[in-house]
């Protein structure tokens, strides 16, 4: 059905039915994540009981990360799903950045499953397994299929639908607004949400009691205070960028350069396995050392690529910020 906007100047295809259908899908995804919370708690308790070498800080960190991850994902997808059914205009600018992150992460996970996981699983196979290649192949194919379906195709479908101009016009016609997402452009809103999530993760990481400063590893209370301070900086960046304050943009650039150099110096001066052992995983790292070393070997390249990508994105959105 063709509809006109409030000014009766442009006709568009009404996407209300599609928005409601996708809203149901998003609610199902949110409900699934919430149902994972008790399983995550049970699994964390069992791992703590069975693993005497696990540090208390790492156990608390992993438990809180699991709980907050499923709670956040469950809440965000439920909220967006309900908003999509109610045809709220804030749904589109909020879902699209989430969908892109979901898709990019899915591509990375899928590549890891097919190119890294086979070698790691080969290291973990017990000697008495008669045909390890068959078992590894089955696991890889099943894991890869699930990853492609739920981590690549599903977010790609969501991005395709919600990025359509007719969806934007439908939401603006059904909910004239303004909405809270109208306060800043979608590319800026996306990076603001990114820093908000990382602020929470940084505060949780303080439980590990390990931090880096310009090539030096610090532990204990000083490390906790440094990590909390960094989390507060990220929270400020999240708020300031949302407000289109150029001070937030400059803080993001400076902090990215500083912490990238600090991390690169740390990994160049210290053994990656020893760093992870400080976080409370020395017992299991010995068992998985060969497989982990294969991934940690490229840690510096991954850090550098991530930093360059983030700085490139920050330069792209610089045009949206007001001068102070």
**pLDDT, tens digit, 9 for 90 and up, residues 89-137:** 999 999 998 898 899 889 988 988 888 777 766 555 555 555 567 777 7
Name the DSSP class of 271: -
Minimal CA–CA distance to 161: which of 26, 70, 10, 3? 26
Are the C-beta atoms of residues 288 and 227 closer than 8 Å to each other?
no
Average pLDDT of the chain, as a whole number = 81
Kindly report, residue by residue over 132-158, the tens digit of the pLDDT. 677 777 888 998 899 999 999 999 999
Task: Write down the pLDDT at residue 254.
Answer: 95
Helices of type H across 116-185: 117-124, 132-147, 154-162, 165-174
Kindly report, residue by residue over 49-91, the tens digit of the pLDDT. 665 555 666 667 677 778 888 888 899 999 999 999 999 999 9
Kindly report, residue by residue over 262-315, the tens digit of the pLDDT. 888 877 766 655 656 555 554 444 444 444 455 555 666 778 888 899 999 999
Q: Give the span between the Cα atoms of 11 and 94, in whole angstroms.
A: 25
Q: How distant is the alpha carbon of residue 120 from its chain centre?
A: 23
Minimal CA–CA distance to 283: which of 50, 51, 58? 51
Whose tokens are 């639908």? That residue is 161
Q: Give the span between the Cα atoms of 55 and 280, in whole angstroms.
A: 5
Q: Is the pLDDT assigned to residue 12 strictly greater than 60? A: yes
């Amino acid at each position: 059905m063709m509809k006109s906007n409030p000014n009766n100047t442009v006709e568009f295809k009404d996407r209300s039915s599609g928005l409601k259908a996708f809203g149901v899908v998003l609610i199902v995804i949110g409900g699934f994540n919430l149902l994972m919370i008790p399983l995550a708690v049970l699994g964390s308790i069992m791992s703590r009981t069975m693993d005497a070498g696990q540090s208390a800080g790492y156990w608390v960190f992993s438990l809180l990360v699991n709980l907050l991850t499923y709670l956040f994902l469950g809440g965000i997808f439920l909220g967006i799903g309900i908003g999509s059914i109610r045809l709220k205009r804030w749904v589109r600018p909020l879902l699209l950045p989430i969908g892109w992150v979901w898709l990019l992460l899915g591509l990375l996970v899928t590549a890891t499953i097919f190119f890294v996981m086979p070698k790691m699983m080969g290291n973990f196979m017990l000697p008495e397994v008669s045909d390890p290649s068959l078992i590894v192949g089955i696991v890889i194919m099943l894991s890869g299929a699930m990853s492609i379906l739920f981590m690549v195709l599903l977010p790609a479908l969501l991005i395709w639908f919600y990025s359509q101009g007719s969806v934007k016009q439908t939401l603006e016609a059904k909910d004239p607004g303004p909405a809270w997402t109208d306060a800043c452009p979608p590319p800026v809103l996306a990076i603001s949400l990114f820093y908000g999530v990382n602020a929470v993760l940084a505060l949780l990481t303080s439980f590990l009691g390990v931090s880096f400063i310009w090539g030096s590893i610090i532990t204990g209370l000083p490390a906790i205070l440094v990590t909390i301070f960094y989390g507060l900086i990220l929270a400020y960046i999240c708020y300031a960028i949302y407000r289109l304050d150029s001070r937030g943009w400059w803080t993001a650039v400076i902090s990215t350069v500083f912490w990238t150099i600090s991390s690169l110096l740390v990994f160049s001066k210290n053994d990656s396995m020893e760093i992870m052992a400080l976080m409370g995983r020395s017992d299991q790292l010995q068992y998985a050392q060969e497989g982990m070393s294969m991934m940690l070997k490229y840690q510096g390249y991954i850090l550098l690529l991530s930093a360059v990508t983030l700085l490139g994105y920050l330069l792209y959105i610089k045009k949206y910020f007001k001068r102070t």
